[in-house]
Amino acid sequence: MKSIAETIARHLDLPTVSLTPEEAATHFVSPFMAIAYGFDGPVSSSYAQELLGWTPTHSTLLEDLEHGDYLTTPTT
């Protein structure tokens, strides 16, 4: 989550800050959401790849945010 927030903030020229658990509880409206966003739950797609015979072919989320057009201003 931190890497995602930092990448988006950098592209939008916004600051990022770390919050204490108490600050996060009020920022995210509830302590539950603060815990959910702050939980470090690394995951892997290896099981899905093996089960389904699937191999990712596209960029990762961070690569897509970094080089995609999500954070560009449309020209009209």
Q: How much is the pLDDT for 7? A: 92
8 Å CB contact between 65 and 8: yes
Q: Phi first, then psi: what are they for 69, rounded to 5°?
A: -110, 15
Q: How much is the pLDDT for 74? A: 67
Q: How much is the pLDDT for 50? A: 93
Residue ranges, the chain, pLDDT below 70:
73-74, 76
Convert the pLDDT of each residue in 55-65 to its tens digit. 989 888 899 99
Three-state SS string over 22-60 comes to HHHHHHCCCHHHHHHHHCCCCCCCHHHHHHHCCCCCCCC
CA–CA gap between residue 9 and residue 49 (Å, rounded): 32
Residue whose tokens read 């959401």: 33
